[in-house]
Structure 1
Amino acid sequence: MNESWHQQVKNQHREEIITAGRELFLQRNFPDVNIREVCQLAGISRVTFYKHFSSLDELVFEVQMSIMQQMTEYILPDSSVSGSGRQQLEAILYRWVDYAKNYPRQLRFITLFDLYYDSGTASPELKQQYEQFINTEGRQGFLQPILEQGIADGSLSSHLNPVHSGFFIFQTLMGVLQRMSMTRLPDYGTTVAYDDIVMPVVRMLVHTITVNSSQ
């Protein structure tokens, strides 16, 4: 009983740290956040922080994984969703756009994290942990089963390579959404709305893998 209570407190402290770090990282660029601020917001001591995380970098990775998990759960259909491969793909892409519109700070964080990750300053251990996270539970290549279904039911081009096409769709749409999360739309004397930029990209992606047999 006592051991169980201590474990619950420990788990609670860890979640409080992650929640505080996430809030601060989304408010500001995470290089501008320090451990003292995280501890203050979480209501814990530095000693408690270091019982759960060896560095602020480790917390940054943990927050990135929580955001990627949130995004994946938001955009993927549940098991009750039916329809052709194309219909399911379109539904995913529309939910993806909806997520980006509702959570622009999360998209900005992912952008900053990608730059940080590619800079080479993160430890090999953290990178390995992150790669394991990405490569499990369908986070890597989650579009592939939908594309394979579309090929099988004839709603998508039979010439598609599901792996290559999934990567192409992910990189294209994610790049546009990340860019939009950091861009102030210009005023050219007429309103340029978010959907004016993003939705043609979604339609282009679906059209390409439906009729383009050269991919």
Structure 2
Amino acid sequence: MGKFYFTMEDDKVQHLINRDPILEKLIRKIGTIHMKLSQDYYRSIVQQIIGQQLSLKAAATIIGLVEQIWSDFNPELIGDIEDEVIRGAGVSKPKIKYIRDLTDKHLTKEVDLSAIHSHEDAEVLKQLTSVKGIGKWTAEMFLIFSLARLDVLSYGDVSIQNAIRWLYQIEKEEPLELDEFKEKWAPYNSVASLYLWEAINRGLTKNPPNL
């Protein structure tokens, strides 16, 4: 399994430090980023669909129950599992439809997950959002956490929005000019995003950013 591993000495991190002195303070506070990538692409997307609009804890519980009835999330096997059985594991009816649509497109190679890593970001987004229930945010998370694309800033990610407002002390009433941040952090918006998410994970955003 691949991983994201960024230290203070990494060229990408140094680029961000040199471009953004405010972000630099957060980077120095957090230090090294070490995160595994989800490189079983089909399984990763299925789990993202299951987890939509759920807490991490609830999603993990349901994913565990689904694993008990669907061996290794093997796409070849889901046709043998009745909707009612999947529903009994806690997956909603719409999400079951989304998973089946993904599976059909994957098996027919309409969305060829075996080759998707070879496409540019825009094409990956186009292919994935052709699947029912997969919106831009889910596709962007796939770009980052499965394909390790380095320059993705998800405008629709509420956690990213909140972390930016916290770090740069932007009030809720003020507009959030994400284009400015995207330009400043390019071509490593994904790396900047990882530090922003980590600030939330560590509970730093519960207090003023006295970094």
TM class by shorter chain equals: under 0.3
Q: Return the structure number with greater helix share.
A: 1
TM-score normalized by the length of structure 1: 0.26
Higher relative contact order (CA 8 A, sep 6+): 2
